[in-house]
Structure 1
Amino acid sequence: MTAVTRSSSASTSPQGLTFPTGFRWGAATAAYQIEGSTTVDGRGPSIWDTFVTQPGAIAGGHTGEQACDHFRRYPDDVRLMAELGLPCYRFSIAWPRVQPDGRTTSSAGLAFYDRLVDQLLDHGIEPIATLYHWDLPQALEDAGGWPARDTALRFADYAQTVHQVLGDRVVDWTTVNEPFCSAYFGYGTGIHAPGIRDEAAALRAAHHLLLAHGLGTRALRAAASGDLRVGIVFNFGSILIARDEPEYREAARKVDGLQNRLFLDPVLGAGYPQDVLDDIAHLEALEPAIRSDDLDVIAAPIDQIGINFYGPSRYAPTGDPGERGTCDMPGVRGVDTLPPQGPLTGFGWEQDSDSLTDLLLAVSERTDLPLVVAENGAAFADEVSGDRVHDAERTRYLAEHIRAVHRALQRGADVRGYLVWSLMDNFEWAMGFTQRFGIVHVDFATQRRRIKDSGLMFSEVARSNMLPASVASPDDGYRRRPLVDPDRWGLIALG
């Protein structure tokens, strides 16, 4: 395991908010959202290639068939990253490009990522590779998908195969991105690929995604002969409730269990929380799927935890603990999801940078592992004016959340990096091309790229390792929200 030296403390000066020496700045993308060329060089279909053909599944009937055409335009995109001065780039590897049937390796598919990594390194950009960002080969879905144990075994083989080609140059690896979304949205609510609605299948998928992480971690370590950093990326929920009352506490406990503790606790070696197992026992899904050594595998030592954050969520009790409320996590009863408050993003998400500070502090209290903000960003409408793209709302959002990371650092959280979502506008899953998250604007008709105002701001931050005073809001007297149940987790707060 590669040792990671703790960085020096963050500081504040009249010029702005300075981050620790060695703090890592960059941008993130995902293969299906940007690459296009979905049949080139023998790439096989993914569950998303199949899902987008279902009527009504994707806003506007959009697909990722072309996306940002990054597969063909990657040299220009890497030069654009260099122009922005980005030290790091987090990208995902398309499993069906590397193994079209989920088993047989395509040398042509791997060659694309070989070229991409070389291009990044030639421009002084550190590659951060994510092995799974939701694009399961359709052949593996046909064989059972993530609810089937064999998919986790296939993932370990895939991880080793990729490392054999890229491991001499790529040090930083993420196994699985947001297993919560792959499991619950793909197999529970069906709003993401493969579009299945089965609560029990969603829980089995969650377990096998974690098992894949553990097996993949072991495979990477077995294959590595040099430096290696391995982690997993979670989209933990920052949970807000309105009242410190038993019914509200209980609603928050249930959500916290299914969104946060079910995923983090086994990775940290604590196993699945018993109260969560009790909550979902009626589905008879998770415990039968767990074999004797699974929890040891899932707890394979890692070097860091990635955290994706976009905004908090609000919950309340339904009044009847056994009632199926509007919270649609598998097995949850007696909980309603409440509307977001305050100014919202274009996606309709609540904006609350204090929740990011709370989240980073809470996770730091649970583990000594370093943290990286692996995704953070917001969708807003852009104002295109000739060669300029103005996006004041996104610029403000990013500045506020970068400040939130700085606050967490000052209060002792061991955060080692911040990656903006996303490098460029892209195919935003079920929302197609209707939501723009990029710091680079993409005209999807012409594929022209233009750096937005937010990109210029972020470029200055990445180059200087400082949020300049010109965009750093004055200290707003941040106070951590009172925790409702700090012994369990610490993300449940009054707000």
Structure 2
Amino acid sequence: MVSFHWGVVQSAFQFEMGDLYRRNVDARTDWWHWVRDPFNIKNDLVSGDLPEEGINNYELYEIDHRLAKDLGLNAYQLTIEWSRIFPCPTWGVKVKVERDSYGLIKRVKVTKEALEELDALANRREVEHYSAVLRNLKKLGFTTFVTLNHQTLPVWVHDPLWTRSDFEGSRARGWVDERNVVEFVKFSAYSAWKFGELVDFWATFDEPMVTVELGYLAPYVGWPPGILNPKAAKRVIINQMIAHARAYEAIKEHTKAPVGIILNIIPAYPLNPKDERDIKAAENYDYFHNRLFLEALNRGRVDLELDFNPTRIPHLERNDWIGNNYYTREVVRWVEPKFEELPMVSFVGVEGYGYSGEPKSVSPDNNPTSDFGWEVYPGGLYDSTAEAAGYGRPVYITENGVADSKDVLRPRYIEEHVREVRKLIENGIDVRGYFHWALTDNYEWAMGFKIRFGLYEVDLITRERIPRRRSVETYRKVVEEGVE
């Protein structure tokens, strides 16, 4: 039997910065510019908190690794930040690009000569830093999971302020522009070439649909670039799919380690299960949010026009494992399609449920809600993971946690969600790991430091890690008990 992976997870931007002397600030990501933009702060799109005042995992990673080890964990998930490795453009490094009959990128060949050119451009200090972090994890006996894109992009790839103000004129539009697919493949190939011996599992993307939905379809939620552009959303979806498949191949040139993708698979339930329109709304939500990527990367069925007519494209069927980030569900009702370009977007989340609850309250079904207002709904972990497992790949719960600064909900939250993992395994579903979000408090994107997910509280003045004892002991206990 494959051993079960118990772990914690962190992303670079949310955890790394915060050293007292600002020696390790990464000012080259889109998010670094986004969260300090005066317009965003004035209009409450972001909190005004700055990541360089954060928890300083960059310097204190050995302390965090030891805390994870003391919990009895055997796996650790982290991000290698693209902008740290390549703070300046890599466009000048030439690679061979082949296309299929649809004009899609079918292959990107990154030669040894190209890798050596990339090595000359790479930030040597940051390469050595990530090598040291990974070596320390291996020394402590952890299985290492590394993600290559956890939302943030180098500002030379994506300048969100420029893109928001002048979409057509911007030359740094992130995943809207196909050339950045090629640049991501270069970064992926270089990472596997440089760190491959220290990484056990690779993930290309973390939650690619968040970029689509919040960045291009919901301009008032504080996610870059903060525009309403359904046509761009379509391009972002397809380009991320292609980027995953080509990065998969590039990584495999240098390692036999499994390569997967991490999705936030959200089960959708109809508000009225007897209303055919609400049932259809839930089906369309599932198709758009969950199955577009699942179908393309695991079955090669790609909905190029997002019109419910997938095309068989075998060269996009590239995936070894599926990560499922699960926090809560969605309850939806029917609305007429919102965008001509996206006819399946015929749903809206119902206030009070899922992600739309009142903070520190209860949902209409009397389930508690977190500091974030997210409904606690453990059964959704079972449903979403079972859906992912239906694609014939092993599944890992790569994020699961609750915003709960007072540590009231978290102990029971952990117990109830791990119970669902046990049910999955008992029912023969191939789930092989559970990663808690997060070991410590973090910088929670547009919300800054107001939202606390950590098993350990972080004093933002001293950077001391302070255990939330009930949750720490609960997680330690469930790890000791295992899942069998």
TM-align CA RMSD: 2.5
1:438-449 counterparts in 2 under 5 A? 438-449=454-465
| CA deviation map 1:142-182 (0-9, x unaligned) | 43211001111111100111112210121211111010012
Give the whole-Å Cα distance in 1 for the aligned partners of 2:342 and 2:405: 33
Corresponding residue for residue 357 of structure 1: 382
CA shift at 1:460, angstroms?
2.5
The letter for the 2-side match of 1:154 is: E
* 1:367 has 2:354 as partner: no
The letter for the 2-side match of 1:29 is: Q
* 1:160 has 2:176 as partner: no
Instruction: Indicate which of 64, 76, 86 corresponds to 2:63.
Output: 76
Give the whole-Å Cα distance in 2 for the aligned partners of 1:404 and 1:77: 27
Give the whole-Å Cα distance in 2 for the aligned partners of 1:413 and 1:304: 13
Count of aligned residue pairs for this structure pair: 419
* 1:260 has 2:285 as partner: no
Corresponding residue for residue 171 of structure 1: 200
Give the whole-Å Cα distance in 2 for the aligned partners of 1:296 and 1:163: 24
Give the whole-Å Cα distance in 2 for the aligned partners of 1:322 and 1:304: 33
Give the whole-Å Cα distance in 2 for the aligned partners of 1:98 and 1:396: 40
Give the whole-Å Cα distance in 2 for the aligned partners of 1:58 and 1:76: 33
Instruction: Indicate which of 115, 118, 121 corresponds to 2:132.
Output: 115
Corresponding residue for residue 64 of structure 1: 51
SS of 2:376's equivalent?
Answer: coil
SS of 2:302's equivalent?
Answer: coil
When residues 105 and 196 of structure 1 are mapped into structure 2, their CA distance, relative to the original with a 3 A threshold, is: farther
Instruction: Indicate which of 334, 337, 351 corresponds to 2:349.
Output: 337
The question of whether the paired residues in 2 share the 8 Å contact of 1:192 and 1:430 is answered with: yes
Instruction: Indicate which of 408, 412, 417 corresponds to 2:428.
Output: 412
| CA deviation map 1:332-358 (0-9, x unaligned) | 554232021332111111111111112
When residues 112 and 197 of structure 1 are mapped into structure 2, their CA distance, relative to the original with a 3 A threshold, is: farther
The letter for the 2-side match of 1:460 is: K
The question of whether the paired residues in 2 share the 8 Å contact of 1:110 and 1:162 is answered with: no
When residues 435 and 42 of structure 1 are mapped into structure 2, their CA distance, relative to the original with a 3 A threshold, is: closer
CA shift at 1:245, angstroms?
2.7
Segment of structure 1 superposing worse, 418-427 or 441-450: 441-450
Identify which of structures 1 and 2 has the higher relative contact order when contacts are C-alpha pairs closer than 8 Å and 6+ apart. 1
The question of whether the paired residues in 2 share the 8 Å contact of 1:361 and 1:412 is answered with: no
When residues 416 and 329 of structure 1 are mapped into structure 2, their CA distance, relative to the original with a 3 A threshold, is: farther
Instruction: Indicate which of 217, 227, 231 corresponds to 1:196.
Output: 227
Corresponding residue for residue 151 of structure 1: 180
The question of whether the paired residues in 1 share the 8 Å contact of 2:266 and 2:289 is answered with: yes
Runs ≥4 residues deviating over 6 A: none
When residues 41 and 52 of structure 1 are mapped into structure 2, their CA distance, relative to the original with a 3 A threshold, is: closer
Give the whole-Å Cα distance in 2 for the aligned partners of 1:187 and 1:63: 23
CA shift at 1:322, angstroms?
4.6
Give the whole-Å Cα distance in 1 for the aligned partners of 2:324 and 2:140: 27
1:199-218 counterparts in 2 under 5 A? 199-218=230-249
* 5+ long unaligned stretches in structure 2: 91-120, 160-171, 354-362
The letter for the 2-side match of 1:315 is: V
| CA deviation map 1:275-330 (0-9, x unaligned) | x8226x9xxxxx9xx9xx9x444212x22111010011011123xx3567xxx996
The question of whether the paired residues in 2 share the 8 Å contact of 1:261 and 1:273 is answered with: no
The letter for the 2-side match of 1:35 is: E
Percentage of identical aligned residues: 28
When residues 323 and 43 of structure 1 are mapped into structure 2, their CA distance, relative to the original with a 3 A threshold, is: closer
Segment of structure 1 superposing worse, 261-270 or 426-435: 261-270
The letter for the 1-side match of 2:208 is: P
| CA deviation map 1:109-145 (0-9, x unaligned) | 1111101011111222222111110110000114321
Segment of structure 1 superposing worse, 195-204 or 94-103: 195-204
CA shift at 1:437, angstroms?
0.8
Instruction: Indicate which of 14, 17, 28 corresponds to 1:36.
Output: 17
Give the whole-Å Cα distance in 1 for the aligned partners of 2:147 and 2:89: 16
